[in-house]
Chain A
Amino acid sequence: MHIAEGFLPPAHAVAWGVASAPFVVHGVRSLTREVREHPESTLLLGASGAFTFVLSALKLPSVTGSCSHPTGTGLGAILFRPPIMAVLGTITLLFQALLLAHGGLTTLGANVFSMAIAGPWAGYAVYALLRRSNAPLMVAVFSGAFVADLSTYCVTSVQLALAFPDPGSGFLGALGKFGSIFAVTQIPLAVSEGLLTVLVMRLLVQSSKGELTRLGVLLAKKQPRTETEAVTR
């Protein structure tokens, strides 16, 4: 899923960096505003970043018998919202490039666009749409995580097809080539990540209602109306 260091030609690497910049800058502004208003948020956001980083260390059993790891973009977007996720995702991708040799610095812009922008925004849009249409929380969570995972891979396929068009059929042929390779492995993985996200969310609803309410995932319980309010109404 991560595009490796040096994989993209320089022009593509720069172009994806430029495409990602406005989203990351918007996220940085949101984060800076949040930290200035609530200084204690630094620690919570740092904890959220660490949680996103370790999510990628979880081994996900795959249908082929091998293992893969979740992208965590869907869960991250549902918990922390896409603008914040753009910054946390960028930090996580930078750490993965420097600490784990996953991804790279020249491909950071492209990886940020697919994993910290396109995936979270697509996943969150589906999640928010389903929640607004009163779908059950777990259905919305599954759909959000599934779409976030799959859209990440679709964008990565587009990025690779643009960089390496097929000699016979050009961009579309290359998109089919990269897309079909990803589809074989990634559709089952997207389903797996959706299921895992539902299981994690179920446990969180049981054990961390306070944090989920603070993050806006669960609605705060309405306070019972006082006697005077009841009379005036």
Chain B
Amino acid sequence: MLPIDAAAHSSRWRRRHPVDKAVLGLGLTVLAISLPPWPGAALVLLTALVVLLGPAGVPGRRLWRAYRVPLGFCVTGALTLLVQVGGPGGFVSFAADGPVRAGELLLRTSAASLGVLLFAFTTPLSDLLPRLVRAGIPAPVVDVALVTYRMSFLLLDSLRRIREAQAARLGHTSRAAEWRSLAGLGATAFVRAFDRAGRLQAGLAGRGYDGTLRVLVPEARVSVRFTAASCALLATLAALTFVLERPLT
């Protein structure tokens, strides 16, 4: 299991309905990209961090491990805004408003990422996917996504074992050997995926498979109090941004 999903399964908010967490987490993300970066995104970032480490109970180290990935992309992307092409300063020169634009972008992306991480760290995909049918996603697509989700972990585990076996057989000692091993890994993943699908099909056919995958979904109700509190928090953040925007800028 991947670290974020493993954390979601043992989350304090695991039993909450995904809609509750989507309103809060994805609401924060929407606010982060639509409010002015300063002070809007900064407020969203702070709030998301407090909620993640406080009420949601996500361990700080786990959060950092997941957060540093998008943060790295954000920093790399923001660096390109520091330079400009053409103009009086030469072919490539320092952009006058580059640091401000880069800072704003960094604030916006890091706040938006935390909003999605709040949702991801508290909602296992196995709770979310079966409920997507009610949101209007066609059942065959949800079934394919469910099989993809469950089979991904098995394949990732297989890949890890094959990679270890290849390393034990000196499969990574030279560049040529590394390419050979890599190709073997890709091809084996394909063969194993189709082999598993075939065996799963045979097993399900024996149990009267009619084309729909029925899975038990843990029962949960949308909490009106939680959703209302989330909406109030989001509204407060938006209002606070517009109040503070002028004096802080």
Query: Which A residues are closer than 8 A to B by beta carbons?
Result: 2, 4-10, 13, 28, 31-32, 35-36, 39-40, 42-51, 53-55, 57-61, 75, 79, 87-88, 91-92, 94-95, 97-102, 104-106, 160, 164, 166-169, 173-174, 176-178, 181, 195-196, 199-200, 202-204, 207-208, 211
B161 contacts the other chain (CB 8 A): no
B57 at the interface (CB under 8 A from A): no
Q: With A45-B144, A167-B96 given, is the CB distance from A200 to B190 under 8 Å?
A: yes
Q: How many A-B contacts at CB < 8 Å in the complex?
A: 244
Q: Given the known A-B contacts A39-B209, A196-B186, A207-B187, are A32 and B179 also in contact in the complex, defined by CB atoms under 8 Å?
A: no
User: Are B186 and A47 in contact (CB-based, < 8 A)?
Assistant: no
In the complex, what distance in Å separates the CA atom of A39 from the CA atom of B204? Answer: 11
Which residues of B (26-71) have their CB < 8 Å from a CB of A?
A: 26, 29-30, 32-34, 66-67, 69-70
Whole-angstrom CA separation of A177 from B86 in the bound complex: 11
Beyond the given A2-B73, A51-B193, A79-B190, could you list 13 further A-B residue pairs with CB under 8 A, ordered by the A residue number? A40-B205, A46-B143, A49-B148, A51-B190, A61-B182, A88-B144, A91-B144, A98-B125, A99-B120, A101-B66, A166-B86, A168-B95, A203-B184
In contact, A5 and B112 (Cβ under 8 angstroms)? yes
B10 to chain A, nearest CB (A): 15
Chain A residue at smallest Cβ distance from B204? A43
Beta-carbon contact of A32 and B197 below 8 Å: no
Residues of chain A within 8 A (CB-CB) of B213 are 42
* A203 CB → nearest B CB, Å: 4
Q: Which of A4, A181, A208: most chain B CB closer than 10 A?
A: A4
Q: Which residue of A lies closest to B195 (CB)?
A: A47
- Asked if B80 and A178 make an inter-chain contact with CB atoms under 8 angstroms apart, the answer reads yes
Contact of A10 among B33, B81, B85, B115 (CB under 8 A): B33
Closest Cβ–Cβ distance, residue A79 to chain B (whole Å)? 8
Instruction: Give me 19 A-to-B residue pairs in the complex whose CB atoms sit less than 8 angstroms apart, sorted by A's number.
Output: A4-B73, A5-B112, A7-B77, A43-B201, A46-B197, A61-B175, A61-B179, A79-B190, A98-B4, A98-B120, A99-B125, A105-B26, A167-B96, A168-B95, A169-B84, A169-B87, A196-B183, A196-B186, A207-B191
- Name B171-201 residues within 8 Å CB distance of A: 175, 178-180, 182-187, 189-191, 193-194, 196-198, 200-201
Please tell me if B113 contacts chain A, counting CB pairs below 8 Å.
yes
C-alpha spacing A74/B36, complex, angstroms: 39
A57/B159 contact (C-beta < 8 A), A6-B108, A167-B95 known: yes
For the complex, what is the distance from the CA of A42 to the CA of B213, rounded to whole Å?
A: 9
Alpha-carbon distance between A55 and B193 when the two chains are bound, in angstroms: 12
CB of B116 within 8 A of CB of A32, answer: no
The chain B residue with its CB closest to the CB of A104 is B116
- Shortest Cβ-Cβ A-B pairs, 7 listed: A46-B147, A6-B112, A39-B211, A199-B183, A49-B148, A168-B87, A203-B187
Known contacts A13-B33, A28-B138, A207-B187: A47-B4 contact under CB 8 Å: no
Which residues of A lie under 8 Å from residue B29 when comparing CB positions?
A: 5-6, 105-106
Q: Give B125's nearest chain A residue, CB to CB.
A: A98
**B187: nearest chain-A partner, CB-CB:** A203
Residues of B with C-beta under 8 A to A92: 148
Say whether, besides A51-B193, A169-B85, A100 and B4 are in contact (CB < 8 Å).
yes
Q: Which residues of chain B have C-beta atoms less than 8 A from A61's C-beta?
A: 175, 178-179, 182
From B30, B67, B97, B155, give the contact of A50 (CB < 8 A): B155
Q: State which of B66, B116, B138 has its C-beta within 8 Å of the C-beta of A105.
A: B116
A196–B187 touching, CB < 8 Å: no
Question: Bound complex: CA of A147 vs CA of B147, how far in Å?
Answer: 30
B189 contacts which of A54, A102, A104, A181 (Cβ < 8 Å)?
A54
B66 CB contacts on chain A under 8 angstroms: 101
Which residues of chain B from 139 to 177 have any CB-CB distance to chain A below 8 Å in the complex?
Answer: 140-141, 143-152, 154-156, 159, 175
Chain B residue with Cβ nearest A8: B33
User: Across the interface, do A5 and B116 meet the contact criterion of CB distance under 8 Å?
Assistant: yes
A231 and B36 CA atoms in complex are apart in Å by: 81
Contact check, B140 vs A47: say whether CB atoms are below 8 A apart: no
Tell whether, in the assembled complex, residue A5 and residue B141 are in contact, meaning their CB atoms are under 8 Å apart: no
Q: Is the CB of A53 within 8 A of B148?
A: yes
What's the least CB distance linking A43 to chain B, in Å?
4
Docked Cα-Cα span, A233 to B2, in Å, equals 61
B34 touches A195 (CB 8 A): no
| Shortest beta-carbon distance from A76 to chain B in Å | 11
Which of B80, B143, B152, B182 is within 8 Å of A60, CB to CB? Answer: B182
Q: Residues of B contacting A100 with CB < 8 Å?
A: 2, 4, 69
